[in-house]
Amino acid sequence: VKPMTPRCSVPKAVPVGKSASLHCHENEGFPKSTYSWYRNSEPLSPDAKSSTKPHNSSYTLNPTTGTLVFHAVHKGDTGRYSCIATNDAGFAKCEEQEMEV
């Protein structure tokens, strides 16, 4: 079963240096969906350390739960975030939401 549009929650504004949690979830898809996050339409690597982009952000992305946690945000994390739920039957994307740091 193709995933339905996931529910995404993105904080509107986060003070520099604070942590931020972004959530993405849908429960119609079968098999269970995996989740990927995008900032300004650029995919965020599931592992911040292995990212090829020079980006000094520390975050944890859990593809199984759809949770993206920034441990300490900085100005560079400001942007439009969206999430895609994917399974064998297809994918669905939530609306982009702005997060300001």
Domains and CATH numbers, the chain: 7-99 (2.60.40.10)
Scored b (16 or more CB within 10 A) or e, 19-35 reads: ebebbbbbeebeeebbb
Residues of the chain above pLDDT 90, percent = 86
Q: Is 77 helix (H, G, I), strand (E, B) or coil?
A: helix
- The predicted pLDDT at position 46 comes to 75
- The predicted pLDDT at position 48 comes to 60
pLDDT tens-digit map of 6-27:
999 999 999 999 999 999 999 9
pLDDT tens-digit map of 87-99:
999 999 999 999 9
